[in-house]
Chain A
């Protein structure tokens, strides 16, 4: 009998689960925000963005949901796409740290709000370098630095230019590792820096619109040659970690001496003891390692679409953009002219205004796949 009872209750629970989503609706006046970013970003929203926005817009509240990672929120995006087709409520309004391209066909079907036509009062302030496609809105950025072990490398002898870095890596084989460019971004921006090195250190040479397969071939091939030249001197003669965290772990285990790392992640790792206090941070002075922007997307079929657009506009105000600098340790999504003058001055030394950026979109795809095909297999050019 017990078994039968169990079966019946299990079946009713299963039936209940399949019916449940039909009864849930996105609540009116509650913006559902899904995050792909790490906990420190969600904390920033909880402590800064949420109270400020709710104070400025009475009657609207934010529901902050940790979506885990890119694929986690992409699944919510797929659900929203299905909801668009059936005309139902997607129960989501805004995605943080999102690439709207991941949901195949979603942009064409109009799943995401086109920010260029959404009437944002602050839209013109967005850093022109951050402009990707109009369904993505940059609201913050981060930079990649070099993190190193000061017990093994004297801070006075740290390489400060790309040429010095290459010399150092070759003189200390096995002491440097960067992660795969499509995973986590700290290694990705190291690869981008190599691309800039191979192309006259001129970030302006690359824009979202000037991608052609021929130009990519011409620009990326010498960069991959630089990286292949480094490969034998890397950890294990050319190994690449599969994420930012794994690189930090190798540095923490003293298996390597230097890694590229996100500034905010390295700082919190040091604060939490994941990295020892003897960890040093340095940025290249001839041209920094590029940074990246983090984008938001608003669903066009969300129940609170208009409130979500208000929130998107609010994120670009000087108040929030300054907080990105002071509270989050990132850098603003708007052009530096729209940050208060005293902050601009205060951060001039730590975060130079010239942090190079590299376009996403097709450039990113070409760079990542090209790296996997040309650099990762460690092919011996002589063979």
Chain B
């Protein structure tokens, strides 16, 4: 079956057969295997191959059963999923208009808007947290400003589940905007102008011309943001309520304060299970992009 039809790729030039390419790839692949894949496998083994009372070890799912039957742990997982979902929606609602503006605006202000949108990337989250308390916290800057014009104080989101949501959304704006912006590069001006010529309104333009071309970027942006938010630590820890906790602080507390590595690793494996789902979205969309 060696007949090639017209659609298949041309045979690779002989140059490609040199092993240099493979060697260059080998270093990162081996590093990933050693530093990421192996720890994952060892973590899964550690949570399934538990010590027994007679000193040996046996296959057991008891730590997963504990997690599933423990309302406190489930509440923590639920708040993590809730925070991640709400953050993803807000990120999309905030970043898509910014990216559209940056793509189609030619004004000088656009450069400042872009700088402002990228700025959160350079602010460490611990500094963001304390700034958040100063600004949005009780008797913070916002309250002072409102008070000076005779308005009532805001109900501060500090120490409620909305605290980490606001912090995480702000923290993730740069990455999301950048990915969406690169996706918008695929939308050609000609396509837009052609659609305008046949009388498409702004909404029609967005829905039928722009959105289909950047749906892939949206998926990538959201899966990137979601992966980061799901395992966030600092912002939920400083700004969030004591309970329910997000998985990041919960894992850290189980490991460092309760000295319970087995349950901490179980929580990590469960978190990883959810993250891998979002990771699959990303891999799938990248693979889909590659196919000609």
> What residues make up the interface of A, taking CB atoms closer than 8 Å to B?
70-71, 74, 101-102, 104, 180, 182, 235-236, 239-243, 246, 249-250, 253-256, 365, 368-369, 372-373, 376-378
Most buried by B among A101, A236, A242: A242
- CB–CB B257/A365 < 8 A: yes
- CB–CB B257/A377 < 8 A: no
- CB–CB A253/B140 < 8 A: yes
Q: Chain B residues with Cβ under 8 A from A180's Cβ?
A: 242
Q: How far is the CB of A60 from chain B (nearest CB, A)?
A: 33
With A180-B242, A253-B140, A376-B243 already in contact, the answer to whether A239 and B253 are too (CB < 8 A) is no
B34 CB within 8 Å of chain A? no
Q: A372-B242, A377-B72 are in contact. List 18 more A-B contacts (CB 8 A).
A: A235-B159, A239-B160, A239-B242, A240-B159, A240-B242, A241-B159, A242-B237, A243-B238, A249-B130, A253-B134, A254-B139, A255-B139, A256-B138, A368-B257, A372-B245, A373-B243, A377-B75, A377-B244
Q: Chain B residues with Cβ under 8 A from A104's Cβ?
A: 259, 261
The residue from B160, B242, B257, B261 contacting A376, defined by CB atoms under 8 A apart: B242
Q: How far is the CB of A4 from chain B (nearest CB, A)?
A: 14
With A242-B238, A255-B139, A377-B72 already in contact, the answer to whether A101 and B259 are too (CB < 8 A) is yes
- CB–CB A236/B72 < 8 A: no
In the complex the two chains form, what is the Cα distance from A254 to B134 in whole Å? 12
B241 CB within 8 Å of chain A? yes
Q: How far is the CB of A252 from chain B (nearest CB, A)?
A: 9
- CB–CB A246/B133 < 8 A: yes
In the complex the two chains form, what is the Cα distance from A18 to B133 in whole Å? 40
- CB–CB B256/A102 < 8 A: yes
> What residues make up the interface of B, taking CB atoms closer than 8 Å to A?
72, 75, 130, 133-134, 137-140, 156, 158-160, 237-238, 240-245, 253, 256-259, 261
- CB–CB A255/B159 < 8 A: no
Most buried by A among B137, B156, B253, B257: B257
- CB–CB B259/A102 < 8 A: yes
In the complex the two chains form, what is the Cα distance from A235 to B137 in whole Å? 12
With A102-B256, A255-B137, A377-B75 already in contact, the answer to whether A246 and B238 are too (CB < 8 A) is yes
Looking at chain B's contact residues, is the secondary structure mostly helix, strand, loop, or mixed? loop
Q: How far is the CB of A213 from chain B (nearest CB, A)?
A: 14
Q: Chain B residues with Cβ under 8 A from A239's Cβ?
A: 158-160, 241-242
Number of A-B contacts (CB under 8 A): 70
Q: Chain A residues with Cβ under 8 A from B75's Cβ?
A: 377
In the complex the two chains form, what is the Cα distance from A70 to B252 in whole Å? 12
- CB–CB A365/B237 < 8 A: no
- CB–CB B256/A70 < 8 A: yes
- CB–CB B259/A365 < 8 A: yes
Q: Chain A residues with Cβ under 8 A from B156's Cβ?
A: 236
Q: Chain A residues with Cβ under 8 A from B259's Cβ?
A: 101-102, 104, 365
With A246-B238, A377-B243 already in contact, the answer to whether A255 and B261 are too (CB < 8 A) is no
- CB–CB A250/B256 < 8 A: no
- CB–CB B242/A253 < 8 A: no
- CB–CB A236/B159 < 8 A: yes
Q: Chain A residues with Cβ under 8 A from B137's Cβ?
A: 249-250, 253, 255
In the complex the two chains form, what is the Cα distance from A256 to B159 in whole Å? 14
Q: Chain A residues with Cβ under 8 A from B158's Cβ?
A: 239
Q: Chain A residues with Cβ under 8 A from B134's Cβ?
A: 249, 253
Q: Chain A residues with Cβ under 8 A from B140's Cβ?
A: 253
Q: How far is the CB of A152 from chain B (nearest CB, A)?
A: 12
With A246-B133, A377-B75, A377-B244 already in contact, the answer to whether A369 and B258 are too (CB < 8 A) is yes
In the complex the two chains form, what is the Cα distance from A378 to B161 in whole Å? 14
Q: Chain B residues with Cβ under 8 A from A368's Cβ?
A: 257-258
In the complex the two chains form, what is the Cα distance from A378 to B156 in whole Å? 18
In the complex the two chains form, what is the Cα distance from A239 to B261 in whole Å? 28
The residue from B133, B245, B256 contacting A249, defined by CB atoms under 8 A apart: B133
Chain B residue at minimum C-beta to C-beta distance from A377: B243
With A246-B238, A255-B137 already in contact, the answer to whether A182 and B253 are too (CB < 8 A) is yes
Q: Chain B residues with Cβ under 8 A from A102's Cβ?
A: 256, 259
Q: Chain A residues with Cβ under 8 A from B130's Cβ?
A: 249
Q: Chain A residues with Cβ under 8 A from B241's Cβ?
A: 239-240, 376
Chain B residue at minimum C-beta to C-beta distance from A104: B261
In the complex the two chains form, what is the Cα distance from A74 to B261 in whole Å? 14
- CB–CB A182/B159 < 8 A: no
Q: How far is the CB of A104 from chain B (nearest CB, A)?
A: 6
- CB–CB A253/B139 < 8 A: yes
The residue from B237, B243, B256, B261 contacting A372, defined by CB atoms under 8 A apart: B243
